[in-house]
Amino acid sequence: MDTAYDKKLSSQQRLLTIPVGFRFSIICFLFSILYFLCSVTTAYSQEWQEIKSEHFIVYFISDKDFAKDVLLRSEIYYKRIASELGYQRYSEFWTWDRRVKIYIHPSRESFLKETGQPDWSEGVAKYHEKTIVSYAWSDGFLKMLLPHELAHLIFRDYVGFKGEVPLWLDEGVAQWMEPHKRKQIKVVIRRLAENQRLLSLNQMMMLDIRKRSDPDLVQTYYVQAVSLVDFLITRYNASRFNSFCRQLRDGKSIEDSLKFAYPVSIRSIKDLEEKWQKYIMEEKE
Ligand SMILES: [Zn+2]
């Protein structure tokens, strides 16, 4: 993916090379939020066709085979994401009129023109409307954007918007569900640690990354977010992670939620930080 944003990043002197996938997530996330906040209503002028499965409706204009791939992969991701997050009984959600709508424009030009997105945007998600809008760029769409945005939708469905759910957790979960990213993070996070570039957990909690434009800071934040989720799920297990999310959903603070879900090992944000730092340095690639 060669976006205007990527070009801007590569023109800067950076110590680290962050894989394209991380940059992509940042782009899609920032524009998901912007799109959501602005509540832009798009008037589609082209003729949409649709195909449906149990939990999704895919709208397309010209490439039916690609739409079929998207539908198939969406169902696979849906089950995998719910199960990896330890969400039992999640299959009851998103059926019939609550199905998620995925719009696939035939080209990048058409996507940008119809949605009014900036020229480096690859896709947008509208959380409250359970809608994803992008275009037919096969590999990137299927392997990155789709699992990332579906994970956001599933996670937000589960934890809601009322509790004290930190942004890093939301972004960490979404990136964790992008299959290629799991291998990349081990190397990148260790390099950040070795270069003493890690943010403190207090900074991670306080930072509203949507308002920041320093590319190095944004990248560090995103890499750390997914690494923290990796730690919580891999070192412990999905059911503890689920219990942690449930406490947040029910309005408990981060620290109380950690204490409840990881009573022996993580009893404070400081514990989380120390154990996570130890984990990233001892993990073998
Ligand atoms: Zn995101």
DSSP assignment of 126-188 equals: ETTTTEEEEE--HHHIIIIIHHHHHHHHHHHHHHTTTS---HHHHHHHHHHTSTTHHHHHHHH
**Domain contains 215:** yes
CA of 82 from ligand 1 middle (Å) equals: 17
Verify that 265 and 201 share a domain, yes or no. Answer: yes
| Structural domain for 76, as ranges | 28-159
CATH number, domain at 142?
3.40.30.160
Q: Which of 98, 125, 159 is the last residue of a domain?
A: 159
Q: For ligand 1, an ion, list residues with CB under 5 A.
A: 29, 174
CA of 31 from ligand 1 middle (Å) equals: 9
CA of 219 from ligand 1 middle (Å) equals: 12
What pLDDT score does 243 carry? 94
Verify that 261 and 210 share a domain, yes or no. Answer: yes
Verify that 201 and 269 share a domain, yes or no. Answer: yes
pLDDT at 133 exceeding the cut of 90 = yes
Verify that 155 and 243 share a domain, yes or no. Answer: no
The pLDDT confidence band at residue 232, using thresholds 50, 70 and 90, is: very high
CA of 274 from ligand 1 middle (Å) equals: 26
Verify that 89 and 197 share a domain, yes or no. Answer: no
CA of 43 from ligand 1 middle (Å) equals: 25
CA of 152 from ligand 1 middle (Å) equals: 7
The pLDDT confidence band at residue 101, using thresholds 50, 70 and 90, is: very high
CA of 26 from ligand 1 middle (Å) equals: 7
Verify that 140 and 119 share a domain, yes or no. Answer: yes
Q: Which of 130, 159, 188 is the last residue of a domain?
A: 159
CA of 128 from ligand 1 middle (Å) equals: 15
What pLDDT score does 90 carry? 63
Specify the number of domains making up the chain.
2
**Domain contains 63:** yes
List pLDDT tens digits, range 239-259: 899 999 999 999 999 999 999
CA of 95 from ligand 1 middle (Å) equals: 24
CA of 264 from ligand 1 middle (Å) equals: 31
Helical H segments across the chain, by residue range: 4-10, 20-38, 64-84, 108-115, 138-140, 146-159, 167-176, 181-194, 201-206, 215-230, 238-249, 254-261, 269-282
**Domain contains 100:** yes
Mean of the per-residue pLDDT values for the chain?
82
pTM comes to 0.80
Q: Which of 109, 131, 159 is the last residue of a domain?
A: 159
List pLDDT tens digits, range 53-81: 999 999 999 889 999 999 999 999 999 99
Verify that 148 and 86 share a domain, yes or no. Answer: yes
**Domain contains 53:** yes
**Domain contains 16:** no
**Domain contains 84:** yes
Verify that 169 and 138 share a domain, yes or no. Answer: no
In this prediction, what percent of the chain has a pLDDT beyond 70? 80
**Domain contains 122:** yes
What pLDDT score does 91 carry? 59
pLDDT at 5 exceeding the cut of 80 = no
CA of 24 from ligand 1 middle (Å) equals: 9
CA of 125 from ligand 1 middle (Å) equals: 9
Verify that 153 and 222 share a domain, yes or no. Answer: no
What is the mean predicted confidence (pLDDT) over 120-140?
84
**Domain contains 3:** no
pLDDT at 4 exceeding the cut of 60 = no
